[in-house]
Amino acid sequence: MRVELNHLSLAYGEKPPLFTDLNLILNDGDFILITGPSGSGKSSLLRLINILHAPIAGFIHIDDLPIDQHEVTRLRRRIGYIQQVPVMLPGTVRENLHLPFRFKTAKDQSAPDDPKMRDSMDGFLLQDVGLADDASQLSVGQKQRLSLIRTMLTRPEVILCDEPTSALDPESKSVVEEWIIRLNTDSNTTILMVSHQDFTPAGVNPQRYILSTNGLSSLSAT
């Protein structure tokens, strides 16, 4: 999937723009890291790409077509989104992992069976979490790992990561980071990660940018 952001500007209401004239291209297999201070609009940028919000100027093309020419629900399914604070719906772990398969857009995909979900959870060091456990009772670290499993089950082509490890304990942090890197290196999944801290993924040379009100500036060595 090719994502092209052209001259994007974003503002909320009457407030001054968070950023203007932002340009970025994501190609298959890219690993892009965007840093910037809190409140600079990093999360908002991810929400724009996931079409949860609309820019005040500029346009987004996906696979060379404006997003308006795509069916948005199908498009969102091709783009995974890992939030800073993981969200679980009321219900069991199994119900939360089955969630993406309840929608019309998933009618040609079957929900994973218990052994497959168990296998994925074990790979994320969640051996002590049961499929019938109440998801709301898990720790933030466990929820974030489940959130990543849930996203992976839909096999997205791009994963947007919004400071996915900032609220995690060291064990969860290393597991989540390791899997994000593995998705990029093993499955050629495009990763766009935003963070207020620098992050050096092992074995990957990410394209680095800093976000400011004037858009993105490249930090990568050329």
Measured CA to CA, the distance from residue 49 to residue 60 in angstroms comes to 8
Checking phi first, is residue 68 left (phi over 0); if not, alpha (psi -120 to 50) or beta? alpha
> In this complex, which beta carbon is closest to another protein, that of residue 81 or of residue 209?
81
State in angstroms the smallest separation of the CB of 96 from another protein.
10
State in angstroms the smallest separation of the CB of 178 from another protein.
23
The secondary structure of residue 12, as a DSSP letter, is -
> In this complex, which beta carbon is closest to another protein, that of residue 67 or of residue 125?
67
> In this complex, which beta carbon is closest to another protein, that of residue 83 or of residue 92?
83
Q: Is the dihedral of CA 61, 66, 67, 70 positive or negative?
A: negative
Within its chain, how far is the Cα of 18 from the centroid? 20
Partnered with residue 82 across adjacent β-strands are 161
Measured CA to CA, the distance from residue 72 to residue 105 in angstroms comes to 10
If we measure between CA atoms, which residue out of 4, 51, 61 comes closest to residue 27?
A: 4
State in angstroms the smallest separation of the CB of 210 from another protein.
26
Checking phi first, is residue 74 left (phi over 0); if not, alpha (psi -120 to 50) or beta? alpha
If we measure between CA atoms, which residue out of 66, 57, 27, 28 comes closest to residue 188?
A: 28
State in angstroms the smallest separation of the CB of 3 from another protein.
15
The secondary structure of residue 195, as a DSSP letter, is E
State in angstroms the smallest separation of the CB of 19 from another protein.
19
Residues in touch with another protein (CB under 8 A): 50-54, 67-68, 72-74, 76-77, 79-81, 83, 85, 87, 89, 99-100, 102-106, 150, 154
State in angstroms the smallest separation of the CB of 68 from another protein.
7
> In this complex, which beta carbon is closest to another protein, that of residue 68 or of residue 128?
68
The identity of residue 65, as a single letter, is: L
> In this complex, which beta carbon is closest to another protein, that of residue 75 or of residue 210?
75
> In this complex, which beta carbon is closest to another protein, that of residue 35 or of residue 96?
96
